[in-house]
Amino acid sequence: MKTVLVVDDDPDIRELITWKLSQAGYGIVTAADGEEAMAMVRGNGIWPDKPPDLVLLDWMMPKQTGIEVCNLLRADPATAQIPVILLTLLLQRKIVAGMTLGAVKG
């Protein structure tokens, strides 16, 4: 079974992503921020033999952002090859705000 680390400071988003990926047959581990995620990836007992197969990172989080975590993962040879997907609602919010003002999404 492939394991995904879901990292998001919003518990509702974490729960939604966890539910959806669990339905697809993935093993899920969650973290509420970047520091917690890095502790997990570096092996504090969560993955004694190997790191997660994929990391889903929220872009904006307290303590360490998704960008900072991604940089740390890439800098460590033990984790440099883990696929990372950065998630953000920031762009979506800007699009919605613009459309609210009358702009058309292009």
Q: Is residue 105 part of a domain?
A: no
Per-residue pLDDT at 27: 92
Q: Report the distance separating Cα 69 and Cα 59, nearest Å.
A: 9
- pLDDT tens digits, the chain, 106 residues: what are they? 899 999 999 999 999 999 999 999 999 999 999 988 888 877 655 554 677 899 998 888 888 888 888 888 888 888 888 899 888 776 565 555 555 655 445 5
With respect to residue 7, please indicate whether it lies within any of the assigned structural domains.
yes
- The position carrying tokens 């969650």 is 30
User: Mapping DSSP to helix (H, G, I), strand (E, B) and coil, where does residue 67 land?
Assistant: helix
Q: Are 14 and 32 in contact (CB under 8 A)?
A: yes
Total number of domains constituting the chain? 1
Question: Does 106 fall in a domain?
Answer: no
What local confidence, expressed as pLDDT, does residue 33 receive? Answer: 92
User: How far apart are alpha carbons 85 and 90 in whole angstroms?
Assistant: 15
List the CATH number of the domain containing 20. 3.40.50.2300
Amino acid sitting at position 64: Q
Question: What pLDDT score does 23 carry?
Answer: 95
Residue range of the domain that includes 32: 3-100
59 within domain boundaries: yes
pLDDT of amino acid 77: 86
